[in-house]
Chains A and B, each alone.
Chain A
Amino acid sequence: MKKLFKYTELILYKTYADLRAESERTYLGFLWWIFEPIMYMGVFYIFFGILLGHRTDDYVPFLLIGLTSWQWLKSCLSHGAETIKGATPLMQQVHLPKVVFPIILVLTDTVKFLFILSLLLIFLWLYGYGIGITYLALPLILIVQMLFVLAGTFFLAAIIPFIPDLRFVVENILLALFFMSGVMIRSDIVPAAYQSFYYLNPIVTIIESYRNILMYNVWPDGFSLMVISIFSLICIWLGAKLIGRFEYIYPKIML
Protein backbone atom coordinates (compact mmCIF):
# COMPACT_ATOMS: atom_id res chain seq x y z
CA MET A 1 0.00 0.00 0.00
CA LYS A 2 2.81 2.35 0.92
CA LYS A 3 4.48 1.45 -2.33
CA LEU A 4 1.33 2.24 -4.26
CA PHE A 5 1.32 5.76 -2.79
CA LYS A 6 4.98 6.17 -3.59
CA TYR A 7 4.56 5.16 -7.21
CA THR A 8 1.38 7.20 -7.66
CA GLU A 9 3.33 10.20 -6.45
CA LEU A 10 6.15 9.40 -8.85
CA ILE A 11 3.76 8.91 -11.78
CA LEU A 12 2.08 12.26 -11.13
CA TYR A 13 5.33 14.16 -10.71
CA LYS A 14 6.88 12.59 -13.81
CA THR A 15 3.74 13.41 -15.79
CA TYR A 16 3.97 17.01 -14.64
CA ALA A 17 7.72 17.07 -15.44
CA ASP A 18 7.22 15.65 -18.93
CA LEU A 19 4.45 18.11 -19.72
CA ARG A 20 6.49 21.02 -18.45
CA ALA A 21 9.56 19.89 -20.35
CA GLU A 22 7.49 19.69 -23.51
CA SER A 23 6.07 23.16 -23.06
CA GLU A 24 9.50 24.62 -22.27
CA ARG A 25 10.95 23.26 -25.48
CA THR A 26 9.27 25.79 -27.76
CA TYR A 27 8.80 29.56 -27.67
CA LEU A 28 5.03 29.36 -27.40
CA GLY A 29 5.14 26.52 -24.95
CA PHE A 30 1.87 24.97 -23.95
CA LEU A 31 0.00 27.30 -26.30
CA TRP A 32 0.93 24.78 -28.98
CA TRP A 33 -1.44 22.32 -27.34
CA ILE A 34 -4.14 24.77 -28.43
CA PHE A 35 -2.74 26.10 -31.73
CA GLU A 36 -1.75 22.75 -33.11
CA PRO A 37 -5.26 21.25 -32.92
CA ILE A 38 -6.74 24.51 -34.22
CA MET A 39 -4.53 24.24 -37.29
CA TYR A 40 -5.33 20.55 -37.57
CA MET A 41 -9.06 21.13 -37.36
CA GLY A 42 -8.70 24.10 -39.69
CA VAL A 43 -7.31 21.88 -42.41
CA PHE A 44 -10.34 19.60 -42.21
CA TYR A 45 -12.72 22.54 -42.08
CA ILE A 46 -11.19 24.10 -45.19
CA PHE A 47 -11.08 20.85 -47.11
CA PHE A 48 -14.46 19.34 -46.21
CA GLY A 49 -16.37 22.42 -45.14
CA ILE A 50 -15.37 24.89 -47.81
CA LEU A 51 -13.81 22.95 -50.69
CA LEU A 52 -16.23 20.02 -50.72
CA GLY A 53 -19.17 22.18 -49.72
CA HIS A 54 -20.18 20.52 -46.44
CA ARG A 55 -20.58 23.93 -44.87
CA THR A 56 -24.25 23.69 -44.09
CA ASP A 57 -24.77 20.04 -43.20
CA ASP A 58 -23.25 18.53 -40.10
CA TYR A 59 -20.35 16.68 -41.68
CA VAL A 60 -17.59 18.94 -40.31
CA PRO A 61 -18.64 18.63 -36.64
CA PHE A 62 -19.31 14.95 -37.24
CA LEU A 63 -15.77 14.50 -38.54
CA LEU A 64 -14.07 16.64 -35.90
CA ILE A 65 -15.65 14.70 -33.06
CA GLY A 66 -14.40 11.47 -34.60
CA LEU A 67 -10.93 12.89 -35.19
CA THR A 68 -10.61 14.31 -31.67
CA SER A 69 -11.44 11.01 -30.06
CA TRP A 70 -9.28 9.12 -32.54
CA GLN A 71 -6.22 11.32 -32.05
CA TRP A 72 -6.26 10.69 -28.32
CA LEU A 73 -6.34 6.96 -28.84
CA LYS A 74 -3.77 7.02 -31.61
CA SER A 75 -1.22 9.18 -29.81
CA CYS A 76 -1.41 7.03 -26.68
CA LEU A 77 -1.01 3.79 -28.59
CA SER A 78 1.76 4.88 -30.93
CA HIS A 79 3.77 6.78 -28.29
CA GLY A 80 2.90 4.34 -25.53
CA ALA A 81 4.20 1.35 -27.48
CA GLU A 82 7.73 2.69 -27.07
CA THR A 83 7.59 3.61 -23.41
CA ILE A 84 9.09 0.53 -21.78
CA LYS A 85 11.71 0.16 -24.50
CA GLY A 86 12.56 3.84 -24.23
CA ALA A 87 13.01 3.61 -20.47
CA THR A 88 15.76 0.98 -20.69
CA PRO A 89 18.62 3.32 -19.67
CA LEU A 90 16.62 4.39 -16.62
CA MET A 91 15.57 0.91 -15.58
CA GLN A 92 19.15 -0.30 -15.75
CA GLN A 93 19.99 2.04 -12.88
CA VAL A 94 17.03 1.74 -10.54
CA HIS A 95 14.32 -0.79 -9.99
CA LEU A 96 10.92 0.62 -10.91
CA PRO A 97 7.72 -1.27 -11.74
CA LYS A 98 7.76 -1.05 -15.52
CA VAL A 99 4.02 -0.50 -15.69
CA VAL A 100 4.54 3.12 -14.58
CA PHE A 101 6.03 4.08 -17.95
CA PRO A 102 2.95 3.49 -20.14
CA ILE A 103 0.75 5.02 -17.42
CA ILE A 104 2.81 8.23 -17.42
CA LEU A 105 2.52 8.47 -21.19
CA VAL A 106 -1.24 7.94 -21.22
CA LEU A 107 -1.59 10.65 -18.58
CA THR A 108 0.51 13.24 -20.42
CA ASP A 109 -1.32 12.58 -23.69
CA THR A 110 -4.64 12.75 -21.88
CA VAL A 111 -3.85 16.19 -20.48
CA LYS A 112 -3.07 17.40 -23.99
CA PHE A 113 -6.26 15.76 -25.23
CA LEU A 114 -8.30 17.69 -22.67
CA PHE A 115 -7.13 20.92 -24.31
CA ILE A 116 -8.28 19.61 -27.69
CA LEU A 117 -11.59 18.45 -26.27
CA SER A 118 -12.26 21.92 -24.86
CA LEU A 119 -11.54 23.41 -28.26
CA LEU A 120 -13.89 20.94 -29.89
CA LEU A 121 -16.65 21.87 -27.49
CA ILE A 122 -16.14 25.58 -28.19
CA PHE A 123 -16.24 24.89 -31.91
CA LEU A 124 -19.46 22.91 -31.56
CA TRP A 125 -21.13 25.68 -29.53
CA LEU A 126 -20.08 28.28 -32.09
CA TYR A 127 -21.42 25.99 -34.82
CA GLY A 128 -24.80 26.06 -33.15
CA TYR A 129 -24.99 22.91 -31.05
CA GLY A 130 -26.28 23.38 -27.53
CA ILE A 131 -25.47 21.72 -24.25
CA GLY A 132 -28.02 19.01 -23.55
CA ILE A 133 -28.82 16.97 -20.48
CA THR A 134 -26.88 14.07 -22.02
CA TYR A 135 -23.65 16.01 -21.42
CA LEU A 136 -23.83 14.37 -18.01
CA ALA A 137 -22.72 11.12 -19.67
CA LEU A 138 -19.67 12.73 -21.26
CA PRO A 139 -17.26 12.02 -18.35
CA LEU A 140 -18.39 8.43 -18.49
CA ILE A 141 -17.42 8.05 -22.16
CA LEU A 142 -14.08 9.68 -21.44
CA ILE A 143 -13.41 7.13 -18.71
CA VAL A 144 -14.46 4.24 -20.94
CA GLN A 145 -12.16 5.41 -23.69
CA MET A 146 -9.32 5.94 -21.23
CA LEU A 147 -9.68 2.37 -19.96
CA PHE A 148 -9.68 1.06 -23.50
CA VAL A 149 -6.60 3.12 -24.37
CA LEU A 150 -4.75 1.96 -21.25
CA ALA A 151 -5.45 -1.67 -22.08
CA GLY A 152 -4.10 -1.33 -25.62
CA THR A 153 -1.09 0.70 -24.52
CA PHE A 154 -0.13 -1.85 -21.85
CA PHE A 155 -0.10 -4.68 -24.37
CA LEU A 156 1.92 -2.79 -26.96
CA ALA A 157 4.41 -1.48 -24.40
CA ALA A 158 4.81 -5.02 -23.04
CA ILE A 159 5.77 -6.68 -26.31
CA ILE A 160 7.58 -3.97 -28.32
CA PRO A 161 10.85 -4.33 -26.31
CA PHE A 162 11.07 -7.95 -27.45
CA ILE A 163 10.01 -7.38 -31.04
CA PRO A 164 10.91 -3.79 -31.98
CA ASP A 165 10.02 -4.52 -35.61
CA LEU A 166 6.36 -4.51 -34.60
CA ARG A 167 6.48 -0.72 -34.49
CA PHE A 168 5.99 -0.57 -38.26
CA VAL A 169 3.13 -3.04 -38.12
CA VAL A 170 1.50 -1.03 -35.35
CA GLU A 171 1.50 2.15 -37.42
CA ASN A 172 -0.31 0.38 -40.25
CA ILE A 173 -2.73 -1.41 -37.99
CA LEU A 174 -3.59 2.00 -36.58
CA LEU A 175 -4.17 3.30 -40.10
CA ALA A 176 -6.46 0.36 -40.85
CA LEU A 177 -8.28 0.93 -37.57
CA PHE A 178 -8.70 4.58 -38.46
CA PHE A 179 -10.74 3.60 -41.51
CA MET A 180 -12.68 0.91 -39.67
CA SER A 181 -13.64 2.94 -36.64
CA GLY A 182 -16.18 5.28 -38.13
CA VAL A 183 -14.05 8.39 -37.78
CA MET A 184 -15.08 9.60 -41.21
CA ILE A 185 -18.20 7.61 -42.06
CA ARG A 186 -21.64 6.91 -40.69
CA SER A 187 -22.21 3.35 -39.62
CA ASP A 188 -25.24 3.02 -41.91
CA ILE A 189 -22.89 3.26 -44.91
CA VAL A 190 -21.39 -0.07 -43.87
CA PRO A 191 -23.14 -2.90 -45.73
CA ALA A 192 -25.73 -4.70 -43.60
CA ALA A 193 -23.83 -7.98 -43.87
CA TYR A 194 -20.82 -6.47 -42.09
CA GLN A 195 -22.71 -4.37 -39.54
CA SER A 196 -22.42 -6.82 -36.66
CA PHE A 197 -18.68 -7.25 -37.25
CA TYR A 198 -18.26 -3.52 -37.57
CA TYR A 199 -19.69 -3.04 -34.10
CA LEU A 200 -17.24 -5.51 -32.60
CA ASN A 201 -14.76 -2.66 -32.77
CA PRO A 202 -15.18 -0.78 -29.48
CA ILE A 203 -13.90 2.46 -31.00
CA VAL A 204 -17.00 2.61 -33.23
CA THR A 205 -19.25 2.59 -30.19
CA ILE A 206 -17.09 5.09 -28.33
CA ILE A 207 -17.04 7.60 -31.18
CA GLU A 208 -20.78 7.17 -31.78
CA SER A 209 -21.40 7.86 -28.11
CA TYR A 210 -19.56 11.16 -28.35
CA ARG A 211 -21.61 12.13 -31.38
CA ASN A 212 -24.87 11.11 -29.74
CA ILE A 213 -24.12 13.35 -26.79
CA LEU A 214 -22.51 16.31 -28.49
CA MET A 215 -24.62 16.53 -31.65
CA TYR A 216 -27.92 14.76 -31.16
CA ASN A 217 -28.51 15.03 -27.41
CA VAL A 218 -29.13 11.29 -27.27
CA TRP A 219 -28.06 9.09 -24.33
CA PRO A 220 -25.30 6.65 -25.28
CA ASP A 221 -25.91 2.92 -25.15
CA GLY A 222 -25.07 2.03 -21.55
CA PHE A 223 -24.91 -1.69 -22.10
CA SER A 224 -22.29 -1.56 -24.88
CA LEU A 225 -20.21 0.87 -22.87
CA MET A 226 -20.36 -1.40 -19.87
CA VAL A 227 -19.22 -4.35 -21.96
CA ILE A 228 -16.31 -2.30 -23.31
CA SER A 229 -15.36 -1.19 -19.80
CA ILE A 230 -15.34 -4.72 -18.42
CA PHE A 231 -13.41 -6.00 -21.41
CA SER A 232 -10.91 -3.14 -21.03
CA LEU A 233 -10.49 -3.71 -17.30
CA ILE A 234 -9.74 -7.38 -17.91
CA CYS A 235 -7.21 -6.43 -20.58
CA ILE A 236 -5.60 -3.83 -18.30
CA TRP A 237 -5.22 -6.50 -15.65
CA LEU A 238 -3.79 -8.99 -18.15
CA GLY A 239 -1.49 -6.37 -19.65
CA ALA A 240 -0.19 -5.36 -16.24
CA LYS A 241 0.37 -9.05 -15.43
CA LEU A 242 2.29 -9.45 -18.67
CA ILE A 243 4.49 -6.46 -17.92
CA GLY A 244 4.98 -7.72 -14.36
CA ARG A 245 6.06 -11.10 -15.67
CA PHE A 246 8.92 -9.49 -17.58
CA GLU A 247 9.77 -7.06 -14.77
CA TYR A 248 13.35 -8.32 -14.40
CA ILE A 249 13.78 -9.26 -18.06
CA TYR A 250 13.28 -5.80 -19.60
CA PRO A 251 16.48 -4.34 -18.06
CA LYS A 252 18.38 -7.26 -19.57
CA ILE A 253 17.37 -6.60 -23.15
CA MET A 254 20.35 -5.17 -24.94
CA LEU A 255 19.71 -2.25 -27.22
Chain B
Amino acid sequence: MKQEQPIISLRNVGISYKRRILSEPFWAIKDVSFDLHHGETLGIIGRNGVGKSTLLRMMAGIIKPNIGTFINRGYSASLLCLQLGFIPYLSGRENAILSGMLMGLRKKEVKAKIDAILEFSELGNFFDEPIATYSSGMKARLGFSVAFQVDPDILLVDEVLGVGDEDFRQKSTKVMREKIRSNKTIVFVSHQAAIIKQLCNRAVWIEEGVTRAEGKPEEVLAEYNKFLSIK
Protein backbone atom coordinates (compact mmCIF):
# COMPACT_ATOMS: atom_id res chain seq x y z
CA MET B 1 0.00 0.00 0.00
CA LYS B 2 2.64 2.50 1.09
CA GLN B 3 4.57 2.24 -2.17
CA GLU B 4 1.65 3.68 -4.12
CA GLN B 5 2.08 7.22 -5.36
CA PRO B 6 0.34 9.72 -3.08
CA ILE B 7 -2.63 11.50 -4.65
CA ILE B 8 -1.72 14.80 -3.04
CA SER B 9 1.74 15.96 -1.98
CA LEU B 10 2.80 19.07 -0.10
CA ARG B 11 6.46 20.04 0.15
CA ASN B 12 7.52 23.01 2.28
CA VAL B 13 4.33 24.86 1.51
CA GLY B 14 3.84 28.42 2.72
CA ILE B 15 0.71 30.54 2.29
CA SER B 16 0.42 34.21 3.12
CA TYR B 17 -2.44 36.66 3.31
CA LYS B 18 -2.40 40.40 2.91
CA ARG B 19 -4.70 42.90 4.45
CA ARG B 20 -3.79 45.66 2.00
CA ILE B 21 -1.82 45.59 -1.22
CA LEU B 22 1.20 47.26 0.35
CA SER B 23 0.98 45.81 3.84
CA GLU B 24 3.28 43.12 5.21
CA PRO B 25 2.05 39.61 4.40
CA PHE B 26 0.80 37.43 7.20
CA TRP B 27 2.00 33.83 6.94
CA ALA B 28 -0.81 31.50 7.95
CA ILE B 29 1.19 28.49 6.75
CA LYS B 30 4.97 28.63 6.86
CA ASP B 31 6.43 25.21 6.19
CA VAL B 32 4.10 22.26 5.79
CA SER B 33 4.90 18.95 4.13
CA PHE B 34 2.88 15.74 3.98
CA ASP B 35 1.35 13.24 1.57
CA LEU B 36 -2.19 12.03 1.17
CA HIS B 37 -2.75 8.49 -0.08
CA HIS B 38 -5.73 7.01 -1.79
CA GLY B 39 -8.42 5.65 0.54
CA GLU B 40 -6.96 6.90 3.78
CA THR B 41 -8.42 9.24 6.37
CA LEU B 42 -5.84 11.81 7.26
CA GLY B 43 -6.34 13.82 10.41
CA ILE B 44 -4.81 17.25 10.75
CA ILE B 45 -4.54 18.34 14.35
CA GLY B 46 -3.54 21.68 15.77
CA ARG B 47 -4.85 24.40 18.01
CA ASN B 48 -7.27 27.01 16.74
CA GLY B 49 -5.73 29.54 14.36
CA VAL B 50 -2.67 27.57 13.28
CA GLY B 51 -3.69 27.58 9.63
CA LYS B 52 -5.64 24.33 9.33
CA SER B 53 -8.52 25.90 7.40
CA THR B 54 -6.07 27.65 5.08
CA LEU B 55 -4.54 24.26 4.29
CA LEU B 56 -7.93 22.81 3.45
CA ARG B 57 -8.66 25.76 1.17
CA MET B 58 -5.47 25.11 -0.70
CA MET B 59 -6.26 21.41 -1.05
CA ALA B 60 -9.71 22.35 -2.36
CA GLY B 61 -8.03 24.39 -5.12
CA ILE B 62 -9.40 27.69 -3.84
CA ILE B 63 -6.03 29.30 -3.19
CA LYS B 64 -2.47 28.53 -4.22
CA PRO B 65 0.67 28.36 -2.10
CA ASN B 66 3.06 31.32 -2.18
CA ILE B 67 6.10 29.09 -1.68
CA GLY B 68 6.81 25.39 -1.85
CA THR B 69 5.08 22.83 -4.03
CA PHE B 70 1.58 21.48 -3.89
CA ILE B 71 0.77 18.62 -6.24
CA ASN B 72 -2.69 17.19 -6.82
CA ARG B 73 -2.40 14.27 -9.24
CA GLY B 74 -5.70 14.92 -10.94
CA TYR B 75 -8.26 14.25 -8.21
CA SER B 76 -11.24 16.40 -7.38
CA ALA B 77 -11.24 17.75 -3.87
CA SER B 78 -13.81 19.84 -2.12
CA LEU B 79 -14.75 21.12 1.28
CA LEU B 80 -17.82 19.86 3.04
CA CYS B 81 -19.74 23.16 2.91
CA LEU B 82 -22.89 23.49 4.94
CA GLN B 83 -25.61 25.85 3.73
CA LEU B 84 -23.42 27.15 0.92
CA GLY B 85 -24.98 30.13 -0.85
CA PHE B 86 -28.36 29.72 0.82
CA ILE B 87 -30.83 32.52 0.07
CA PRO B 88 -33.47 33.05 2.80
CA TYR B 89 -36.36 33.92 0.48
CA LEU B 90 -36.10 30.79 -1.63
CA SER B 91 -37.59 27.41 -0.86
CA GLY B 92 -35.63 24.47 0.51
CA ARG B 93 -35.83 22.79 -2.89
CA GLU B 94 -34.48 25.82 -4.77
CA ASN B 95 -31.73 26.32 -2.23
CA ALA B 96 -30.76 22.67 -2.50
CA ILE B 97 -30.42 23.02 -6.28
CA LEU B 98 -28.50 26.29 -6.03
CA SER B 99 -26.22 25.03 -3.30
CA GLY B 100 -25.52 21.78 -5.12
CA MET B 101 -24.71 23.67 -8.32
CA LEU B 102 -22.36 26.01 -6.46
CA MET B 103 -20.58 22.94 -5.13
CA GLY B 104 -19.95 21.82 -8.67
CA LEU B 105 -22.86 19.52 -9.52
CA ARG B 106 -24.82 19.87 -12.72
CA LYS B 107 -28.45 20.89 -12.37
CA LYS B 108 -29.69 17.50 -13.52
CA GLU B 109 -27.38 15.77 -11.05
CA VAL B 110 -28.86 17.72 -8.15
CA LYS B 111 -32.36 17.10 -9.44
CA ALA B 112 -31.65 13.39 -9.58
CA LYS B 113 -30.62 13.53 -5.95
CA ILE B 114 -33.40 15.79 -4.77
CA ASP B 115 -35.53 12.95 -3.39
CA ALA B 116 -32.59 11.66 -1.39
CA ILE B 117 -31.98 15.16 -0.05
CA LEU B 118 -35.64 15.57 0.88
CA GLU B 119 -35.74 12.22 2.59
CA PHE B 120 -32.52 12.62 4.51
CA SER B 121 -33.37 16.15 5.66
CA GLU B 122 -36.78 14.99 6.97
CA LEU B 123 -38.24 18.36 5.99
CA GLY B 124 -41.45 16.96 4.52
CA ASN B 125 -43.80 19.69 3.34
CA PHE B 126 -41.44 22.38 4.56
CA PHE B 127 -39.15 21.51 1.65
CA ASP B 128 -41.12 23.82 -0.63
CA GLU B 129 -41.41 26.64 1.89
CA PRO B 130 -38.93 29.54 2.00
CA ILE B 131 -36.04 28.68 4.29
CA ALA B 132 -36.54 32.03 6.05
CA THR B 133 -39.37 30.20 7.87
CA TYR B 134 -37.06 27.37 9.00
CA SER B 135 -35.63 26.95 12.44
CA SER B 136 -31.85 26.88 12.61
CA GLY B 137 -32.03 23.13 13.13
CA MET B 138 -34.04 22.67 9.94
CA LYS B 139 -31.60 24.79 7.98
CA ALA B 140 -28.74 22.72 9.34
CA ARG B 141 -30.54 19.54 8.25
CA LEU B 142 -31.01 20.84 4.73
CA GLY B 143 -27.42 22.12 4.58
CA PHE B 144 -26.01 18.78 5.61
CA SER B 145 -28.27 16.76 3.33
CA VAL B 146 -27.17 18.75 0.28
CA ALA B 147 -23.48 18.79 1.18
CA PHE B 148 -23.50 15.06 1.80
CA GLN B 149 -24.69 14.39 -1.76
CA VAL B 150 -21.61 16.01 -3.26
CA ASP B 151 -19.11 13.25 -3.78
CA PRO B 152 -15.60 14.45 -4.67
CA ASP B 153 -12.59 12.09 -4.87
CA ILE B 154 -11.20 13.74 -1.77
CA LEU B 155 -13.53 15.09 0.87
CA LEU B 156 -12.16 17.84 3.08
CA VAL B 157 -13.89 18.19 6.42
CA ASP B 158 -13.34 21.10 8.79
CA GLU B 159 -14.25 20.16 12.36
CA VAL B 160 -17.92 19.40 11.76
CA LEU B 161 -19.19 15.87 11.71
CA GLY B 162 -22.78 16.04 12.78
CA VAL B 163 -25.06 19.06 12.85
CA GLY B 164 -28.56 20.05 13.86
CA ASP B 165 -30.77 19.07 16.76
CA GLU B 166 -29.99 15.99 18.87
CA ASP B 167 -31.62 13.31 16.69
CA PHE B 168 -30.26 14.64 13.45
CA ARG B 169 -26.84 15.14 14.98
CA GLN B 170 -26.67 11.44 15.75
CA LYS B 171 -27.90 10.51 12.31
CA SER B 172 -25.53 12.84 10.45
CA THR B 173 -22.57 11.83 12.60
CA LYS B 174 -23.37 8.23 11.85
CA VAL B 175 -23.38 8.66 8.07
CA MET B 176 -20.22 10.75 8.20
CA ARG B 177 -18.48 8.04 10.18
CA GLU B 178 -19.64 5.46 7.69
CA LYS B 179 -18.24 7.56 4.87
CA ILE B 180 -14.96 7.99 6.72
CA ARG B 181 -14.64 4.27 7.37
CA SER B 182 -15.35 3.44 3.76
CA ASN B 183 -12.59 3.49 1.17
CA LYS B 184 -13.10 7.20 0.62
CA THR B 185 -10.12 9.56 0.82
CA ILE B 186 -10.77 12.10 3.53
CA VAL B 187 -8.86 14.90 5.18
CA PHE B 188 -10.31 15.72 8.54
CA VAL B 189 -9.25 18.78 10.47
CA SER B 190 -9.82 19.16 14.19
CA HIS B 191 -8.41 20.47 17.43
CA GLN B 192 -9.95 17.53 19.31
CA ALA B 193 -7.46 14.71 19.74
CA ALA B 194 -10.09 12.15 20.67
CA ILE B 195 -11.96 12.35 17.36
CA ILE B 196 -8.78 12.20 15.27
CA LYS B 197 -7.66 9.13 17.21
CA GLN B 198 -11.01 7.45 16.64
CA LEU B 199 -11.41 8.15 12.94
CA CYS B 200 -8.08 8.58 11.23
CA ASN B 201 -5.47 6.17 9.86
CA ARG B 202 -2.79 8.78 9.93
CA ALA B 203 -2.29 12.18 11.50
CA VAL B 204 -0.36 15.39 10.91
CA TRP B 205 0.24 17.89 13.68
CA ILE B 206 0.57 21.53 12.71
CA GLU B 207 1.69 24.28 15.03
CA GLU B 208 2.18 27.94 14.03
CA GLY B 209 2.03 27.00 10.36
CA VAL B 210 4.73 24.34 10.56
CA THR B 211 4.41 20.53 10.44
CA ARG B 212 5.64 19.21 13.78
CA ALA B 213 4.86 15.54 13.39
CA GLU B 214 3.40 13.08 10.89
CA GLY B 215 2.61 9.41 11.31
CA LYS B 216 0.40 7.05 13.28
CA PRO B 217 -2.36 8.91 15.13
CA GLU B 218 -1.33 7.56 18.56
CA GLU B 219 2.24 8.74 18.15
CA VAL B 220 1.39 12.14 16.70
CA LEU B 221 -1.28 12.74 19.32
CA ALA B 222 1.08 11.74 22.10
CA GLU B 223 3.50 14.44 20.97
CA TYR B 224 0.69 16.93 20.56
CA ASN B 225 -0.61 16.27 24.05
CA LYS B 226 2.88 16.53 25.49
CA PHE B 227 3.22 19.91 23.80
CA LEU B 228 -0.12 21.07 25.18
CA SER B 229 0.75 20.03 28.73
CA ILE B 230 4.03 21.96 28.63
CA LYS B 231 2.29 25.06 27.26
- Are A and B part of the same complex? yes
| B101-124 to A contact mask, C-beta < 8 Å, 1/0 | 111101100000000000000000
Asked whether A175 is an interface residue with its Cβ less than 8 Å from the other chain, the reply is no
User: Given that A17-B87, A24-B130 are known contacts, is A95 also in contact with B98, CB under 8 Å in the complex?
Assistant: no
Q: In the bound complex, how far is the Cα of B156 from the Cα of A92, in angstroms?
A: 13
* B204 contacts A by Cβ under 8 Å: no
- For B106, what are the chain A residues with a Cβ–Cβ distance below 8 Å? 6, 9
Near A by CB (< 8 A), chain B positions 1-43 give 15, 17-19, 21
Task: Give the contacts of B123-179 with A (CB-CB under 8 A).
Answer: 130
Give chain A residues whose Cβ lies under 8 Å from the Cβ of B62: 91-95, 248, 251
With an 8 A cutoff between CB atoms, is A237 at the interface?
no
A14 interfacial contact with B, CB 8 Å = yes
Is A20 in the interface zone, CB < 8 Å from B?
yes
The answer to whether A93 and B84 touch across the interface, beta carbons within 8 angstroms, is yes
Could you say which of B89-97, B186-194, B205-213, B216-224 contacts chain A? B89-97
A46 at the interface (CB under 8 A from B): no
Q: Which residue of A lies closest to B97 (CB)?
A: A13
User: Would A20 and B89 count as touching, CB distance under 8 A?
Assistant: yes
Instruction: Give the chain A neighbours of B18 by CB distance below 8 A.
Output: 252-254
Whether the pair B79, A252 counts as a contact (CB closer than 8 A) is: no
Q: Is B71 an interface position by the 8 A CB rule? A: no
Do A90 and B90 touch (CB < 8 A)? no
Residues of chain B within 8 A (CB-CB) of A252 are 15, 17-18, 63
Least CB separation from A14: chain B residue: B98
Chain B facing A: main interface SS? loop
CB-based contact B84/A94 at 8 Å: yes
A10 an interface residue at 8 Å Cβ cutoff? yes
Q: Counting CB contacts under 8 A, is A96 at the interface?
A: yes
B side interface size, CB within 8 A: 30
Task: Name B23's closest neighbour in chain A (CB-CB).
Answer: A254
* CB pair B130 A93 closer than 8 Å: no
Chain B residues with Cβ under 8 A from A95's Cβ? 60-62
- Within 8 Å by CB of B79, from A9, A93, A253, A254, lies A93
B81 lies within 8 A of A251 (CB): no
**B47 CB within 8 Å of chain A:** no
Chain B 68-86 interface 0/1 with A at a Cβ cutoff of 8 Å (1 = within): 0000000000110100110
Return chain B residues, CB-CB under 8 Å to A251: 57, 62-63
Which among A96, A163, A254 is the interface contact of B102 at CB below 8 angstroms? A96
Asked if A21 and B63 make an inter-chain contact with CB atoms under 8 angstroms apart, the answer reads no
B184 in the interface (beta carbon within 8 A): no
Residues of B with C-beta under 8 A to A91:
62
Q: Which residue on B lies nearest to A23, using beta carbons?
A: B89
- Asked whether A162 is an interface residue with its Cβ less than 8 Å from the other chain, the reply is yes
> What does the 1/0 interface line of A76-90 toward B look like (CB < 8 Å)?
000000000000001
0/1 interface trace, chain A 59-71, chain B, CB 8 Å (1 if under): 0000000000000
Does B89 lie within 8 Å of A94, measured CB to CB? no
Q: Are B85 and A92 touching (Cβ within 8 A)?
A: no
Across the interface, do A17 and B79 meet the contact criterion of CB distance under 8 Å? Answer: no
Contact yes or no, B89 A21, CB < 8 A: yes
Residue of A nearest to B53 (CB): A92
With the chains together, A163 CA to B22 CA distance in Å?
A: 11
Known: A17-B94, A17-B98, A95-B60. A24 touches B89 (CB 8 A): yes
A9-B101, A248-B63 known, 19 other contacts, Cβ within 8 Å: A14-B102, A17-B87, A17-B94, A18-B87, A20-B89, A21-B88, A21-B89, A24-B90, A24-B130, A90-B102, A93-B62, A93-B79, A94-B78, A248-B62, A251-B63, A252-B15, A252-B17, A253-B17, A254-B18
The contact sample of 28 A-B pairs, CB cut-off 8 A, is A6-B106, A13-B98, A13-B107, A14-B98, A14-B102, A17-B87, A17-B98, A18-B87, A21-B88, A24-B89, A24-B90, A90-B85, A90-B102, A91-B62, A92-B62, A93-B79, A93-B84, A94-B60, A94-B62, A94-B79, A94-B103, A95-B61, A248-B62, A248-B64, A251-B62, A252-B15, A254-B17, A254-B19
The 5 closest A-B pairs by CB, nearest first: A24-B89, A21-B89, A248-B64, A93-B81, A21-B87
